[in-house]
Amino acid sequence: MLTLQLFIKGRWHDAAQLNIQHPHQGRESPALLAYNFDYAVEYLDRNDYASCSLNYPVMLIGSYAARPWFTFLDDIMPAGASRRYWIQQLGLQGKSAAEQDFWLLKSGTIAPVGNQRIKESIPALPAQSQLRDRRFPSEWAIERDSDFLAYAQQMGAASGGATGAGGEAPKLLLRYTPQDEVWIDTWQDDVHNQDAHYLVKYPRGARSAIDCDILRAEYHYYHELASMGFDTIPCEKMKLCEGSRYPSLWLPRFDVSYIAGEKVMYGLESVYSIMRKPPGSYLNHFEVISTLITHLNPDRRAQEAFVIEWVKRDMLNIAFGNSDNHGRNSAILKKDTGMWLAPIYDFAPMKADPEGVVRTTQWGRLLRRGDNINGNRLLPHWMTWCHQTDYWLSWPYWPDSLSDSKSVCFSEVYQHRFMTMPALGFDYLDQRIEGWQL
């Protein structure tokens, strides 16, 4: 039996009991989820940041059942580079992938993004330990210094606070002090400490020249998105740091905030989780839009805004060469003020990646031309949710801003590598946009 904790109103609550009935089967095991009585009394029927998932509102009596296990668990357990790291750290190499799933969930879900964690993953702090108070120069994290990584291991067997973010690119979840120092917040129990929260990304793959340039381009992408008026990761405190071997991208976290001097952690649930789909699944945009609208239940005006935003974001992915549009790279951010699409994140020219990253969320075979969209055929489908409003009246002018953005994103050092790369198609972006027939 595992305990799911949710961070609400400045503290961690024992929210629900999770029973993975056959641990050796991993995610294929039958699973039961039951909210704790006291928690359910306080948050009865809540289906927002106070529930484990939008699919499982808080209820007082009974339990939810799933087989395979609940897809929201895939949001919080180690994945990608973090998963490989944890398998080594926990000595799970000899176990089946299914058994690894269970032990990673039980022991590695210390400090994922969002406001959930597994209570049993939290390491005990040794008596008289100084680990909680240790701070390191930020350069040590930039260089992935061996002493700093050893500290990360001590913070709970390679603390989930350090490696709790999924994805193929190695990441660290760090706190950053005004004195230019970093530390790992394993226990997340000091609600008044306002050291900045960062997700630090390093180049994926072999950290080749192209891997490094993709990461550098991601930094400039966010700034261009912000200048175009899109909701993306805050750029004011974003940093691109050049180490002696490779760069690192320091991204301020948008799932944590401070209100009246006290920490607030927001819920974050991926499209995969909401769609009840396992990692790697192919998705259809129309099915995703319909499902998200059902859960968000917006009024007509908000529904139209949501659909327009979703469509624009996919056009951004196509125009900027970001083919990595799987269901964990879009999410719903759950706040006490409401729920909406999370800011744009994991946005980079992934079509340039030598591993060949393909689009896994698509409009459908008859509604696209290769990786491009067929506007004439898609518009009637979009009109199911969006009627003749001023959103559509302003639409013809919006794609023009995409063609203007390429000169900004790929100026100077990136010009020679990305602007002429056939896979990205920036040399003929104007023709591609015209071909969308919008």
- Count structural domains, the chain: 2
pLDDT digits (tens, 9 = 90+) for 170-204: 888 999 999 999 999 988 989 999 999 999 999 98
Residue 384 has pLDDT above 90, yes or no: no
- pLDDT digit string (tens) for 424-435? 888 778 787 777
> Is residue 412 predicted with pLDDT exceeding 60?
no
Structural domain contains residue 94? no
Residues 339, 412: one domain? yes
Section 302-318 average pLDDT: 92
- Kindly state whether residues 185 and 307 are assigned to the same domain: no
Q: Is the peptide bond before 68 cis (omega within 30 degrees of 0)?
A: yes
Among the residues of 20-96, which ranges form H helices?
37-43, 72-76, 81-89
- What is the distance of C-alpha 320 from the center of its chain? 19
**Within a domain: residue 7?**
no
How far, in Å, are 223, 295, 353 from residue 24 at the CA level? 45, 33, 35
pLDDT tens sequence across 331-380: 999 999 999 999 999 999 999 998 889 999 999 876 666 667 777 788 78
Specify if 65 maps to a domain: no
Claim to verify: residue 217 and residue 294 sit in the same structural domain = no
What's the domain range around 143? Answer: 115-121+132-265
Q: Are residues 383 and 319 in the same domain?
A: yes
- Choose the final residue of a domain: 238, 265, 292: 265
| Domain termination site, one of 232, 265, 298 | 265
Based on the domain organization, do 277 and 354 belong to the same domain? yes
Same domain, 278 and 424: yes
- What's the pLDDT tens digit per position in 272-286? 999 999 999 999 999
375: CATH: 1.10.1070
Residue 365 located in a structural domain:
yes
**252 and 335 fall within a common domain:** no
Encoding tokens for residue 322? 């970001």
In a shared domain, residues 179 and 252: yes
Whether residues 429 and 282 share a domain: the answer is: yes
Same domain, 251 and 295: no
Is the C-alpha dihedral spanning 127, 128, 131, 133 positive or negative? positive
Q: Are 227 and 291 in contact (CB under 8 A)?
A: no
Give the helix ranges, DSSP H, for 97-181.
97-108, 138-142, 146-154, 160-163
Top-ranked range on mean pLDDT: pick from 58-67, 72-81, 132-141, 404-413: 58-67
Angle (CA) 94-97-100 rounded to 5° is 75
Q: Which of 265, 291, 321 is the last residue of a domain?
A: 265
| One domain for residues 177 and 305 | no
Residue 34 lies in a domain: no
Give the SS3 label for residue 381.
helix
The verdict on 253 and 276 lying in the same domain is: no
Q: Distance between CA atoms of 113 and 188, rounded to whole angstroms? A: 12
